[in-house]
Every structure is written in structure tokens, then in C-alpha cells.
Amino acid sequence: MMKRSETLFERACKTIPGGVNSPVRAGKSVDMNPLFIDEAAGAIIRDVDGNEYIDYVGSWGPMILGHAHPEVVAAIRERISRGTSYGAPTELEVIMAETIVEMVPSIEMVRMVNSGTEAAMSAIRLARGVTGRKMIVKFDGCYHGHADSLLVSAGSGVATLGIPGSPGVPEDLVRHTLSLPFNDMKALNSAFDRYGPDIACIIVEPIPGNMGVIIPDVDFLKGLREIATAFGALLIFDEVISGFRVAPGGAQELYGIGPDLTCLGKIIGGGLPVGAYGGKPEFMLRMAPEGDIYQAGTLSGNPLAMAAGIATLTVLRQGDLYPKLEKMGNALFSGLASLAGNAGIPVVVNHVGSMGSLFFTDAPVLDFVTAKASDARRFKQYYRSMREHGMYLAPSPFEAGFISAAHTEEMIEKTLNAAASAFKEMLN
């Protein structure tokens, strides 16, 4: 008899392209079909066949408190019977904005949108509007959503599927995007030597998570700040993953670097669709209706998303969660590195707190080129074996793994045991 996940996938493929509503879910690069999920609680996710897994995907980053956190569920429940969207301002939006401003060092004003894609797209429009310039600088392997001018050497599903650009993106637009190697100050300097006066902004994931996790050279991040200031370009930190993940105020708090604009998403929605971009009033007040740069959204600041997001941020602020996440991150990621080492399998493990990646390679992974040098066949073996052992991982070496506050030491131990078996099987 066919499993329900299999039957559903077959059905899905008839009416949904590739059977999925976002390419990263498909599992094409590991030759496996996606699991269809029935429910999740805490760190455990259960598929429609009744199999339970320890979840390291966390909906690709948002679920830092774990699934169905009681306070998030209560907040949504409290709002839902009072209407789900009004298209008019609510107190929740004010609380959300105030919370973000208090938590994220460089943000003084913020606009809510519905996805990280929209946040990055809008921040770039703002940077272009403010500077009157067209060109943007991004970095190979960084992903900022699927807006046209950002789909150049992008990470995440674009990297997993090996797509260099995308049909449907006009060359006229891509012409204005410079994609440079991450952590490479020399390449950045020469790009600015050549195009500096035409560059509107630098957009960067300060801790890249979409080519697998890359540890930033802090001097490189400082260099971005300096060169942007020197040339009058805006520095945009895309903290859609790192925001509220690596510290309450994201990577900018962790490294003490102030961008001009910040993109947020994922965690601030507590698992509901959301995004945001913010920065100094001198820039943010250029947005309509106060200013002349246009951006809008029917469902922006949606009351359910705000309620879930505020509840999540409130728990994050009150609890002593970051040291715990850090401790578990260290246990898991250094555990993986030493187990692989014991088994004689070359790996590089990069992690910052509770986000991290395992690369099957023996050379340091510092950028997209070195990330892509990792062994895809070994990753596939690892992924398949881990799934058989009840571990739900992102089906791609170019994604981050996430630990939530609901993960326990016992779960980490179980995961390490599973990894030890996976490494052993790999040698056969």
C-alpha cells in the first residue's frame, strides 16, 4: 500500500507545479519526495503517515520557540474571533513597531510587509529612491527572496537546483546587480573603484544562511559599512534569518555594526506570513504616504501575524533563551564535527549559536565557491540516513539547520547518535 505522503505528493503534482508551493520543499536534490506534515508541537514534527521527527528545519527559520508554543497559540486564538483583517491600523501594529525598534539597534522606524521577499525588494527600492542610483551590490550565494534584481547567483533553492539566473528576469534589470564573492574585501574594493558613484546599496546577509551557514569575517562586515559610507551608498542588512536568531537584536547587535536599513521576516511572524524593513527616519520617511517612494500591501500588518509575532518576540525578550540556544548549538554542531572526525569523514561545520550547517568537505567554507565544493553525494547519503533515523533536516547542503528553544539535550543526543550511524553507513 502506498504511504499517504506518497499519495498526496502524486495528487499535488497534478495541480501544483512540482507538488510544492516553494521549491526548497521538494527534495529533488536528495532524490526523495517531501513528507506531508500533519502537525507539530515543540521540536517534534509529525507526517501524515504518523512518523515523528526531530525538526531542524523550523519552517526554515521562524520557529525559534518550537511549534505551537502555548503563548503564540493563545495570542492567535485571542485575536482570531475578532476578525482576521481590517485593512486599517490596529494597536498591534504599533506594539510590533515599538518592539522591533527596541530590539534591533539600527531600526528607528519600520514598515511591515508580508514576506522577506517584499522586505528586500522594498528596501532596495528605498535605497535607489534615496540615492537616485541604479546599481546594487549583493554577494554570491546570499538569498534575498525572489524579486527580479536579486535572482543573480542566489542561494537557497536557486543554489540547490543549480539555476544560474532565472528566465523571466529581464537582462536590463540584472545589468544593475553586481554579485560579488562573500568575505572578499578585495573584490568589493575593486567593484567600488569601478562603479562606486552608481551604487545605490550593498545588500548582504550578515550571517549567510542560504548557501549553508557561512561565518562572516567581522572585518569584512566593517569594511562594508565603511565603503558604503565613503561612497554614499546604503548598507542593507538582510536579517530575515539572523534577526532575533543569533541575538535579540540580530547580527548587527552581535557584531556591533549599524546598517542603514534592515530587512526582517521569519521569526517576527511567529510562523505566520510576515516581513518588515526599517531604519533611520531620514530614509523611512521617504516612504509613501509621508514621502514619494511607493510600497503598499492589502494584508500588511495583519492582526493574526502581528499577534503571533508579538507573542514570539515577547517570549524571546523575557526568557533567558539565547544562552540556552547557544549551548545547544555548541553541543550539536561541535558534536557533529567530532563524530565525523572520529569516523574519518572530512566535514566542515559552521555555526553561529542555534543556526548551523554541515559541509562534506575538508577545506574551510567561507563563501559560495567553497560551499559548492562540498560533496553532494555524501550529503544525500547523510540526509537519507538521518531521515530514516527520525531527523527532519533541510533537503539541501545549501540551507541552515535551526535549533529551537523546545529542543532538549536528550534530543541533541539522539540526533548525534543518528549522525554517528549515518557517518558509519557512509563508509560502507
Ligand X SMILES: *Cc1c(COP(=O)(O)O)cnc(C)c1O
Residues that bind ligand X (CB under 6 A): 115-117, 120, 143-145, 205, 209-210, 238, 240-241, 265, 275
CB of 261 to ligand X, least distance (A): 13
CB of 408 to ligand X, least distance (A): 26
Cβ pair 230, 261 in contact under 8 A: no
Query: Residue 126 — left, alpha, or beta (φ > 0 → left; ψ -120 to 50 → alpha)?
Result: alpha
Nearer Cβ to ligand X (41/147): 147
Q: Closest residue to ligand X, Cβ-based?
A: 116
CB of 409 to ligand X, least distance (A): 28
Instruction: Report the 10 Å Cβ neighbour count for 357.
Output: 27
Which of 47, 55, 140, 238 is the catalytic position?
A: 238
Which of 28, 56, 138, 266 is the catalytic position?
A: 266
Long-range contacts of range 89-98, CB-CB < 8 Å, 24 or more positions apart?
89/301, 90/301, 90/303, 90/306, 92/301, 92/303, 92/306, 92/307, 92/310, 93/301, 93/306, 95/306, 95/310, 96/268, 96/301, 96/306, 96/309, 96/310
Listed residue (84, 71, 83, 407) closest to 270, CA to CA: 71
User: How far is residue 148 CA from its own chain's centroid?
Assistant: 18
Which residues, other chains included, contact 352 with Cβ-Cβ below 8 Å and sequence gap of 6+?
Answer: 207, 213, 215, 242, 246, 254, 329
Which residues, other chains included, contact 255 with Cβ-Cβ below 8 Å and sequence gap of 6+?
Answer: 206, 216, 218, 221
CB of 119 to ligand X, least distance (A): 7
Q: Residue type for 196, please? A: G
CB of 240 to ligand X, least distance (A): 4
Nearer Cβ to ligand X (58/209): 209
Nearer Cβ to ligand X (250/335): 250
Maximum separation of any 2 CA atoms in the chain, in Å = 65
Q: Is 266 a catalytic residue?
A: yes
Backbone angles phi and psi of 223, in degrees to 5: -60, -35
Nearer Cβ to ligand X (209/309): 209
Which of 53, 143, 322, 383 is the catalytic position?
A: 143
Q: Is 362 a catalytic residue?
A: no
Nearer Cβ to ligand X (155/335): 155
Q: Is 198 a catalytic residue?
A: no
Nearer Cβ to ligand X (233/241): 241
CB of 393 to ligand X, least distance (A): 17
| DSSP states along 150-209 | G-SS--THHHHTT-SS-TTS-HHHHTTEEEE-TT-HHHHHHHHHHHGGGEEEEEE-SS--
Active site residues: 143, 238, 266
